[in-house]
Structure 1
Amino acid sequence: MLSVIKTLQGKRWSNWARTFESNPEKILYPSTIAEVVLVVKEASKQKRKIRVVGAGHSFTRLVKSNDWLVSLDLLSGIEQFDEASSTVVVLAGTRLFQLGEELGEAGFAQENLGDINVQSIAGAISTGTHGTGLEFGNISTQVVELTLVTASGEILTVSKEQNTRFFKASLVSFGSLGIIVKVKLKVIESLVYEYRSDKIQYSNFEPNLERYINDNRHFEFYIFPYSDLVQVKTMNKTERKPQQLFFHHLNSLILENYLFLVLSEICRWFPRTCRVISRLSAKGISKTVVVAKSHELFATPRLVKFREIEYSIPLKHFKQSLQEIRAKIEEKKYKVHFPIECRVVKADDIWLSPSYQRKSAYIAFHMYKGMPYEEYFRDMEAIMQKYEGRPHWGKMHTLGKKELLNRYPKLPDFLAIRKELDPEEIFLNDYLKNMMDEE
């Protein structure tokens, strides 16, 4: 029966960062919801596990599978747009950049996005992908309604009005409750933003951190190891006309990718240069002002591969944690040159969201591929844990069941629903089972 569905067999699969590889028995590409139902029913019949992959941008083994890997790349596009209610119905495999372009043509946009836009909408929702700005939650908070194919092959629609008890569990669920096939999102009228990037001395930046957070619609900053300079980025609404972004994108491509790749390779071959190159990168930041539509500014191309951990901590601990991070880097002298990315996110009520019931600061640590990361990540993770850190689900972390139960008060309720919707554990792989199985 699966012969109608595009299928690859014997093909090795790896994620974007190449932090893991797997040898799935099959990679299936359903192009309709009916075909997804067919895949699930056949997997159940043959007692096969299913994991669903979007763009493969998660650093963890969330989708690693030696059974069936399902890609939703062919289940893509806008199904319905309702201008009156400011909602859009999107098929689950739709990439964020594609959605942004199509919404932009209609004069609308997602209210917030992360700094990468190649993920599928279902993948971004399932892992709690976020942007920045204290007025905004993660991408999952934009969801009005989700359509899932459950382990029994049932098509289940969940929202605040339908199957309500599943809704808050389904919004960040790593594909473990079923296969998300369709999403209804709330959107806003497309805005024009003034984007500003500049560097500032840390001693001048830290006393004004709260002002930066509260006075800007979107705000993020980058701390450079061994440097006293901080890169500050802001985006705010403007009445100015959008400009052409060709040279802005070209500059980002050359400086933030190709040049940074060369510098990263120097660090990999000569690790002692990391301190100098980090300081050089900080000094090289130029003042930039760009005016454009939101979906053209949120994301930047990422061609340089790396490893990453990212944690959410309560916003009240932001300054203290940054002081400890900077001190620990100076003390341990890690061979690291990647800047530390810092963002803020609104509190929400999604059960497994890292921002559950607290205004959050997100701090992300990176290490260039091929360079030792274990000690650096371990020490940074320890600081994050000291401040009630919750991991970004798509990023590397070392937390097990005990720590996660400590961090996520609704995890037991989530696990109960997971067991109800998938009693045969069709949607679990070894990674999820070891991390979250309550037995």
Structure 2
Amino acid sequence: MPQSVDELAAAVAAAAERGDTVKPVGSGHSFSEIAVAPGIQIGMSGFQGVRDVDTARKRITLGAGTHLHQIPAILEPLGLAMANLGDIDRQTVSGATSTGTHGTGGEFGGISTQIRGLTLVDGTGRVRTIGENDPDLKAAALGLGALGVLTDVTLQLVDAFAIEAVESPADADETIDGFLDRVAAIDHYEFYWFPHTTRTLTKTNTRLPADTPASGPGRIRRYVDDELLSNGMFRILCTLSAKQPRVVPAINQLSGRALSARTYTDRSDKIFISSRDVRFREMEYAIPLESVPEALRELRATINRRKHKVSFPIEVRAAAADDLMLSTAGGRKSGYIAVHRYHRDDARDSQAYFQDVEDIMTAHGGRPHWGKMHTRDAEYLRSVYPRFDDFLAVRNEFDPNRTFTNPYLQQTLGD
């Protein structure tokens, strides 16, 4: 757990000289093996907090080990906010950006697209500062931990804003058919489909001025809804479903009928972030936005045909195209389909379910989320990432001796 850039650089240089491998780890949130450390694991707790603030350009430089949930309190006194967030904020900012964490919104990119500069220690122990106009930033802003250990990142911020959130139950066919239109018309749109039912829960988030008063269910009511019901009751139902898979369709039907609408307004981060306490395993693929409805129809048919018993809802989101080399939305507007299984579900059925999902997504040119489960290798990934070899060229420069390799990178990057 180094406490300074110099200490980190010395540790990496010494490891490289010995032939050891090094891997930084953030919060351990990834479902993939991207942060597994066969050699030396670097804890990033010594790299937290504010390094610099540029209010004129609305930018902030943070230690790479700063957790996402720490950032809103830092930004609130500045009247600033992150442009978009995912629904989980336990990750470090470097872990989130290195794995391609994203939220939803047809005109908004993932968190990595907010990076305007960074500092890292490369595979030889050299400290490198990569600025906004450096072409290597297109690789390093979403670098999979393959280029070096990030020590700080500079984020482009926006003026603080509020969000009005509208959650509504809906018909699955209507939701799927109208997905593209809603993504085009709504700031941040997503929905959840409950397998074995015709029900969805849609979430419409509209950006509002920062001084918009908070409204809707109070803190206690939201705690009851989000913690006691959404997490506590859901955990009980998942436990029952894992023990008696045949009851899953009936439970999902009951859950779908119990969905109710609610509207509330709050500070942006408080709307983006959701509490997730029920343990699960997750796979998520990015496919061309226009392919989402067809892929979902195929997935629904596959679940029925293969008789999978899936208690977790399927999450569907969208993101704008960007120009990062290994971004799942690189060069194309993308839709994201995420599937989950309760961690105590039957392992054989879970594995078969994930494989069926992966078959559908890869048929649509899908790109797996780097931090979530998948089985793709370098040969496949090269076929869906036009700048795959450009990234490898940057890697050869930054880490010629593969100080930062691990089995996951050997599989995905083709060592």
TM-score class, shorter-chain normalisation, is: over 0.9
1:315 paired with 2:289, answer: yes
CA deviation digits over 1:124-148, x for unaligned, max 9?
Answer: 1101110000110011100000111
**Aligned position for 1:41:** 13
1:233 paired with 2:203, answer: yes
1:137 paired with 2:114, answer: no
1:280 paired with 2:254, answer: yes
1:221 paired with 2:191, answer: yes
**Aligned position for 2:339:** 365
In 2, the alpha carbon distance for the partners of 1:294 and 1:394 equals 24
1:429 paired with 2:406, answer: yes
Map residues 252-291 of structure 1 onto 2, 5 A cutoff.
252-291=226-265
In 2, the alpha carbon distance for the partners of 1:245 and 1:381 equals 39
1:197 paired with 2:167, answer: yes
Letter in structure 1 aligned against 2:191: F
Could you tell me whether the CA contact under 8 Å between 2:285 and 2:338 is conserved in 1? yes
**Aligned position for 2:361:** 384
CA deviation digits over 1:358-379, x for unaligned, max 9?
Answer: 0000000100002121111111
Could you tell me whether the CA contact under 8 Å between 1:49 and 1:425 is conserved in 2? yes
**Aligned position for 1:81:** 53
Q: CA deviation at 1:284?
A: 2.2
**Aligned position for 1:292:** 266
The two structures have a TM-score, normalised by structure 1, of 0.90
Residue in structure 1 matching 2:176, options 201, 206, 210? 206
In 1, the alpha carbon distance for the partners of 2:38 and 2:364 equals 37
**Superposed CA RMSD:** 1.4
The two structures have a TM-score, normalised by structure 2, of 0.95
**Aligned position for 1:180:** 150
In 1, the alpha carbon distance for the partners of 2:375 and 2:157 equals 35
1:65 paired with 2:50, answer: no
The worse-fitting range, judged by mean Cα deviation, of 401-410 and 234-243 is 234-243
Could you tell me whether the CA contact under 8 Å between 2:180 and 2:289 is conserved in 1? no
**Aligned position for 2:370:** 393
Percentage of matched positions with identical amino acids:
36
**Aligned position for 2:316:** 342
CA deviation digits over 1:143-179, x for unaligned, max 9?
Answer: 0001111112211111333xx2311111211111000
**Aligned position for 1:7:** none
SS in 1 for 2:120: strand
Could you tell me whether the CA contact under 8 Å between 2:165 and 2:271 is conserved in 1? yes
Q: CA deviation at 1:211?
A: 2.7
Letter in structure 2 aligned against 1:132: T
SS in 2 for 1:238: strand
Letter in structure 2 aligned against 1:55: S
Q: CA deviation at 1:66?
A: 3.1
Letter in structure 2 aligned against 1:74: G
Q: CA deviation at 1:246?
A: 4.3
The worse-fitting range, judged by mean Cα deviation, of 37-46 and 382-391 is 37-46
Q: List runs of 5+ in structure 1 lacking aligned partners.
A: 1-28
Could you tell me whether the CA contact under 8 Å between 1:91 and 1:182 is conserved in 2? yes
Letter in structure 1 aligned against 2:172: Y
Could you tell me whether the CA contact under 8 Å between 1:313 and 1:390 is conserved in 2? yes
1:408 paired with 2:380, answer: no
Q: CA deviation at 1:107?
A: 1.7
Could you tell me whether the CA contact under 8 Å between 2:176 and 2:296 is conserved in 1? no
**Aligned position for 1:108:** 80
CA deviation digits over 1:263-319, x for unaligned, max 9?
Answer: 110011111111112222222222111110001111111111111110000011111
SS in 2 for 1:236: strand
SS in 1 for 2:397: helix
Letter in structure 1 aligned against 2:401: E
The worse-fitting range, judged by mean Cα deviation, of 266-275 and 244-253 is 244-253
| Structure-2 change in CA distance of 1:166 and 1:238 (3 Å) | closer
